[in-house]
Amino acid sequence: MARKLPPKDVVIVGLGWTGAILAHELTETGLDVVAIERGPWRDTATDFNIGYMQDELRYAVRRDLFLQPAQEAMTMRNTTSQTALPMRDYGSFLPGTGVGGAGVHWNGHTWRFWQSDFETKSHLTQRYGEGRIADLQVQDWGVTYDEMESAYDRFEYLCGISGKAGNLNGNIQEGGNPFESARKREYPLPPMQMPYAPTLFAEGAKSVGYHPFPTPSANLSKSYVNPLGIAMGQCTMCGFCERFGCANYSKSSAQTTILPLLMRKSNFEARCNSEVLQVNLDGAGKMAKGVTYIDSSGVEWEQPAEMVLLCAYGLHNARLMMLSKIGKIYDPQTGEGTVGRNYCYQTNAGIQLFFEDKNFNPFIASGACGQTVDDFNGDAFDHGSLDFVGGAGINCIPTNGRPIGFRPTPPGTPRWGSAWKKATKDNYLSTLGFSSQGSSYAARGNYLDLDPTYKDRFGRPLLRMTFDFPDNDIRMSHWVSDRMVEIAKALKPKQYVEARRNKSWNSVPYQSTHNTGGAIMGADPKTSAVNKYLQSWDVPNVFVIGASAFPQNAGKNPTGTVGALAFHAADAIRNQYLRNPGAALVQA
């Protein structure tokens, strides 16, 4: 029997980017808020100390900051005709755990989705006809870019994003991304100083007629004090971003932008090493009463609350909704149900160039310092004569030259021995890579549900993932790979090697931690789990915040949009929901 605690106004599940943003915004209104985090407390000074943070073996190889399958595993299959099996080790994607969540170990690419991304179905139908998307299940988001612009701006200024605007109030700006939707003001910081590799890439891209620009970066180009008064430092280009916490206070995360202020508030509490088992509903299943969680000692607690915010990693949000019976689980056979619908990923490919006369010094790097070409992203180009929709950004972002993981050698090199050592020495400084990050469009057969066989350590069904790359997305990726080859040839390497995206999705090699969907937003409760403010259609005092809300994924990193959605939801809760608690903000 769970022990019952005194009630709170708000209980937040997860204390990463979204949990921290919502906690700050709602405590500002005077609400009493508690955040329950499955993993441990993590703080920059104590957990990401400069004396040991750059430990590649501990953090990059052994994945010290990541969720382990012993704590929560998932099962996977490519199609419904297969039997899903547990992923015994996370490989394809790496969910974080602990305070800060995935925002601790990200690289820092911070994008805005475009107007056409938010209206994918209506935009593509109007431009190309319904037949072009007949094999897909893409949807509009129920919110427009214009409605999201101010929320994007707030997240960028909270983080101190380094970049160059390409479209200011409809006026195209030299040096920025000419394809982006209009923003109202510049980035808070100028772009990062470019090392040689992305500089050379940009020259090659320009030579074949494309429009490279500095990648928007949450690695700070200068010292910065954000709107909350929290000071951050300039990036030192140490090459330890992805899979690492930032010891230098120069990569934006909950730890460096919000938590120093949030943790001092008397009306906020964080409980770590405590796993929420379910959201508790009333007898009618129409309102949440709070959550039940279990602490590190195995003691079960009931935390009553007037409002429940699911701010865990997107996949965990969807699973918790299913376990709590919030909404109906999606059935791909009938198309009915919304929770688990439209699971999407990212469709990536790469190319590696080997030179004889270049020195790129790859160890001088950061997670998001580079150049991007968006000429073939989204619907920036005419798909009329092509056999696909969607697109990809082409990114040259040399994130690191770390000694264990960065060992570029050309094909035919032995995997060990003196010849391998010589090839490592010969190619370490003179290899350049760039990649395409492609859209992932929803298909009827790609979804999440609960596994009928496998259970976790608490006896709950594991999340089951059914996913394969749609043929549309494979065709898109191959076409964009051809454009990457054009850039590669313009750079005149001695050799280049392509890594094209092909079926089927394999959960073993790392590809991207950009999992989206499962609790998608929209204007119709028959095809979406949450409304435009991320409020559950079925249980109105539950809000579900994160990439779980994406109806499909664009060819961009999701974090900027996740942060913007958090601010968008917070504004709706503060300015609308609290005036009439328990009411639906959008009428079905």
Positions marked active-site: 514
Pair 436, 481: CB distance under 8 Å: yes
What is the rounded distance in angstroms from the CA atom of residue 519 to the CA atom of residue 546?
9
What is the rounded distance in angstroms from the CA atom of residue 448 to the CA atom of residue 453?
15
Bridge partners of residue 504, in order along the sequence = none
Q: Which of 8, 60, 542 is nearest to 321 (CA)?
A: 542
Bridge partners of residue 495, in order along the sequence = 354
How do the residues of the chain divide into helix, strand and coil, expressed in percent and rounded to 5? 25, 20, 55
What is the rounded distance in angstroms from the CA atom of residue 201 to the CA atom of residue 191?
16
Which tokens go with 116? 């056409």
What is the rounded distance in angstroms from the CA atom of residue 448 to the CA atom of residue 341?
7
Q: Looking up tokens 């000694």, which residue turns up?
A: 403
Angle between helices 471-491 and 196-207 (to 10 degrees): 100
Q: Is 1 exposed, middle or buried (0-12, 13-18, 19+ CB in 10 A)?
A: exposed
Which tokens go with 205? 């891209």
Which tokens go with 198? 């992305």
The conformation of residue 81, written as its DSSP 8-state character, comes to T
Phi, psi of 34 (to 5 degrees): -125, 135
Pair 148, 119: CB distance under 8 Å: no
Residue type, 427: N
Q: Which of 387, 499, 506 is nearest to 436 (CA)?
A: 499
Q: Which of 116, 231, 152 is nearest to 552 (CA)?
A: 116
Which tokens go with 111? 């994008």
47-67 residues labelled b (16+ CB within 10 A) or e (exposed): bbeeeebbebeebbeebbbbb
